[in-house]
Chains A and B, each alone.
Chain A
Amino acid sequence: MKITKPLTSIALLALLGASFSASAYDADWKRGRIYYRSVCTSCHVALPVGSINPSAKTMAEWSGYMQADKHAKGKDTVKQYVSKEYRASIKSANKAAEKFADVPDQELLDDIKAFVTKGAKDGEAPASCS
């Protein structure tokens, strides 16, 4: 019984290590800022849901939100709005989507995570939408 916990921990660490070594991407918060403001915010304002400042949530809240991947209270996903397919669908009318059309989905998602984490209420530099 006692041996199971360390073994499980080793297994999870191995999995984490595997994923880390496979994708040592240094997220670009500035690219995340542009996408967040030009795509997320512009759509939120147009709908109109209203803009959501990164500083409206704490780092933990943003982390939970991104991990849950539930957009519009679970009607769809966050990843969907960062995907290449979505960017392709709006790029004729959205310059940020056009500029970042070929950026891998996970990289762009990491960029956005880096921006909202840095700009969170308790982040290193709380940020607004504009």
Chain B
Amino acid sequence: MGLNSLRQAAGLCLAGLLCLFSANTVAADAPRPLKLTTTADHSKFKELQREFQSGPDVTKACLSCHTEAAGQIHRTKHWKWEFLNPVSGQTLGKKSVLNNFCISVASNYSACTSCHVGYGWKDASFDFSVEENVDCLVCHDTTGIYKKPPGLAGNPVVKDTELPPGSGKIVKGIDITKVAQKVGKSSRDTCGSCHFFGGGGDGVKHGDLDSSMAAPDKELDVHMDATGLDFTCATCHKTSSHDVAGSRYTPTAMDKEGAHVRGKEDKSNPATCVSCHDNTPHKKDERLNQHATKLACQTCHIPEFARGGVATKMSWDWSKAGERDAEGKQITRKDAKGRIIYESRKGAFELGENVRPEYFWFNGDVNYTLVTDKIDKPDGVTRINWLGGSPTDGKSMIWPVKVFRGSQPYDPENKTLVKPHTAGNDDTGYWKNLVWDKAIETGMKDAGLPFSGKVDFVKTEMFWPITHMVAPKEKALACSECHSKNGRLAGIQGVYIPGRDANPLVDRLGWGIALLSLIGSLGHGLMRFAARRKH
């Protein structure tokens, strides 16, 4: 028995060694496994062959080769969260503007900066000049495991950590070394890790960007179709020196520059439809090209947004926030589909899927009501941003838009919108305490702005042009969607749309011509018939 076991083990050992020998021989003969999507396997670089303890630790290693990268990032909106609008002169960017979703970054840095391309922005004193605070991994992760939870000022969790502190919930630490060794090009997943979740959750803000766009089918987006064209975000948002083309603050509403061509210097926005499809994209029907002089491509080719099975928020009423249950605890309500429609800390929401856009003339100008601006009509609706445009300015087109409506706190004495301190496990954070005046006082103090101590609510609107989720051409709008009474463009002024518009004189003239033609034909036929009988 013992001898047999020994023989068996020896046999196995011999077989294993033979296998190893033969496999290595085969491996030596066969071409080595080759990555074709990159020129560098970062796991082979000595600089990355060690255990990393933090994000900045990784960045230092990245910068030892990519010496200019951090400096390039430092010049971008993704880093500064600040943008000077050359048209309006307004200072915009996430750092300055407010919205009617989670409202404002000021005093909420540790939560909001989980989507900053940096590490450690926890308050207004963040040093924007430090190179190792640039987060390379958030854009270049290929593992899909890199995450930056809210509350950590843009830092990832590298060791198992209780979040929020005292909650008893443990967030597992990620293997940041593995992430560093597997870096690659940006992808829908990396861009989407922030842009799909704008406004505090999946699909909340944009309506045309949510997690369903990570690997969409053709029905959802013809360009990003994972089994077809498989565009990444950067395919259109062409990036130069780490500066990503395309902007929510200065979008291109009408592109007269035509398609970009290799070898020709193109300074226009590469993220427009025209930059690939040219100004006359319809090869078989010239009438559609005529439409394309007034209608943005998106108007016909994105019939609905939020089509991927993820609902987008359509309204947010902060004035309803603050309810507690009988035990004084915060509550959450869900709709029949299990989606949250009320939270004590945030208020009431309306959600939408397969939403038909609203339509507006848009010339690319976007103006903002800033926190320093006086609200003239607090009883009406304050537009936090609004789109410039008219049918006669020669640079506007009709665009599909998600209009996000809400009600949010303002200062009725100073007549301004306010920046409340919402996120934060402290005495004034609204999400913890549900007390508005404390939260607003902290937020406005952080922003260096006055607050009277009085709080009321004002109705607000924001306008988000729709440009993703391009449907297959077979699913583009049919003529009757607009050429009809009460069609999609019922509210659009300044353009004559047959089927929608009626001019009594033109109508009478048309019907008159038709009637005369009928009488003429019948008369002619009658005379021919009578003449035949005579012969």
Which residues of chain A come closer than 8 Å to B227, judged between CB atoms? Answer: 34, 38, 95-96, 98-99
Which residues of chain B come closer than 8 Å to A30, judged between CB atoms? Answer: 144, 187, 189, 215
Partner of B13, one of A7, A98, A118, A130: A7
**Smallest CB gap from A25: residue in B:** B33
Q: Would A3 and B145 count as touching, CB distance under 8 A?
A: no
Instruction: Give the Cβ gap from A101 to chain B, nearest Cβ, in Å.
Output: 11
Q: Would A7 and B10 count as touching, CB distance under 8 A?
A: yes
Partner of B23, one of A12, A13, A22, A33: A22
Cα A12 to Cα B20 in complex, Å, equals: 11
Q: Would A3 and B26 count as touching, CB distance under 8 A?
A: no
> Is the C-beta of B228 less than 8 angstroms from some C-beta in chain A?
yes
Cα A8 to Cα B172 in complex, Å, equals: 36
| Contact mask for chain A residues 2-31; partner B; CB cutoff 8 A; 1 contact, 0 none | 011101101111110111011111100110
Cα A14 to Cα B22 in complex, Å, equals: 11
Give the interface segment out of B1-9, B333-341, B490-498, B522-530: B1-9
Cα A26 to Cα B10 in complex, Å, equals: 33
Which residues of chain B come closer than 8 Å to A98, judged between CB atoms? Answer: 227
> Is the C-beta of A37 less than 8 angstroms from some C-beta in chain B?
yes
| Contact mask for chain A residues 86-125; partner B; CB cutoff 8 A; 1 contact, 0 none | 0000000001101100000000000000000010000011
> Is the C-beta of A72 less than 8 angstroms from some C-beta in chain B?
no
> Is the C-beta of B19 less than 8 angstroms from some C-beta in chain A?
yes
Scoring A14, A37, A125 by chain B CB atoms within 10 A of each residue's CB, the highest score goes to: A14
How many contacts A-B (CB < 8 Å)? Answer: 100
Which residues of chain B come closer than 8 Å to A25, judged between CB atoms? Answer: 33
> Is the C-beta of B226 less than 8 angstroms from some C-beta in chain A?
yes
Instruction: Give the Cβ gap from B142 to chain A, nearest Cβ, in Å.
Output: 8
Q: Would B16 and A3 count as touching, CB distance under 8 A?
A: no
> Is the C-beta of A1 less than 8 angstroms from some C-beta in chain B?
yes
Cα A18 to Cα B13 in complex, Å, equals: 12
Cα A1 to Cα B14 in complex, Å, equals: 18
Cα A12 to Cα B8 in complex, Å, equals: 12
Which residues of chain B come closer than 8 Å to A3, judged between CB atoms? Answer: 6, 9
**Contact A11 to B13, CB < 8 A, known contacts A30-B215, A38-B217, A99-B227:** yes
Instruction: Give the Cβ gap from B141 to chain A, nearest Cβ, in Å.
Output: 11
> Is the C-beta of B17 less than 8 angstroms from some C-beta in chain A?
yes
Q: Would B145 and A22 count as touching, CB distance under 8 A?
A: no
**Smallest CB gap from B214: residue in A:** A33
Which residues of chain A come closer than 8 Å to B294, judged between CB atoms? Answer: none
Scoring B35, B143, B175 by chain A CB atoms within 10 A of each residue's CB, the highest score goes to: B143
Within 8 A of A (CB), among B10-65: 10, 12-17, 19-20, 22-24, 26-27, 33, 35
Instruction: Give the Cβ gap from B64 to chain A, nearest Cβ, in Å.
Output: 24
Which residues of chain A come closer than 8 Å to B8, judged between CB atoms? Answer: 4, 8
Which residues of chain A come closer than 8 Å to B212, judged between CB atoms? Answer: 130
Q: Would B217 and A11 count as touching, CB distance under 8 A?
A: no
Within 8 A of A (CB), among B168-189: 172, 174-175, 187, 189
> Is the C-beta of B453 less than 8 angstroms from some C-beta in chain A?
no
> Is the C-beta of B80 less than 8 angstroms from some C-beta in chain A?
no
> Is the C-beta of B450 less than 8 angstroms from some C-beta in chain A?
no
Which residues of chain A come closer than 8 Å to B309, judged between CB atoms? Answer: 130
Q: Would B16 and A11 count as touching, CB distance under 8 A?
A: yes
Q: Would B217 and A14 count as touching, CB distance under 8 A?
A: no
Scoring A11, A19, A99, A125 by chain B CB atoms within 10 A of each residue's CB, the highest score goes to: A11
Which residues of chain B come closer than 8 Å to A118, judged between CB atoms? Answer: 143-145
Partner of A4, one of B5, B19, B20, B175: B5
Q: Would B218 and A18 count as touching, CB distance under 8 A?
A: no
Which residues of chain A come closer than 8 Å to B174, judged between CB atoms? Answer: 124
Q: Would B9 and A11 count as touching, CB distance under 8 A?
A: yes
Which residues of chain A come closer than 8 Å to B175, judged between CB atoms? Answer: 124
Partner of A29, one of B12, B14, B27, B144: B144
Instruction: Give the Cβ gap from B398 to chain A, nearest Cβ, in Å.
Output: 32
Q: Would A14 and B5 count as touching, CB distance under 8 A?
A: no
Scoring A7, A17, A29 by chain B CB atoms within 10 A of each residue's CB, the highest score goes to: A7
Q: Would A19 and B23 count as touching, CB distance under 8 A?
A: yes
Other than A14-B16, A118-B144, A125-B144, give 9 A-B pairs with Cβ distance below 8 A. Answer: A8-B9, A11-B17, A14-B13, A14-B19, A15-B19, A17-B20, A95-B225, A95-B228, A124-B143
Q: Which 7 A-B pairs have the closest CB atoms?
A: A14-B16, A11-B12, A7-B9, A95-B227, A18-B19, A124-B145, A18-B23
Sample of 27 A–B contacts (CB below 8 Å): A4-B6, A4-B9, A5-B9, A7-B6, A7-B12, A8-B8, A8-B9, A8-B12, A11-B13, A13-B16, A18-B16, A22-B23, A22-B27, A26-B35, A30-B189, A37-B215, A38-B226, A38-B227, A95-B227, A95-B228, A99-B228, A118-B144, A124-B172, A124-B174, A125-B145, A130-B212, A130-B308
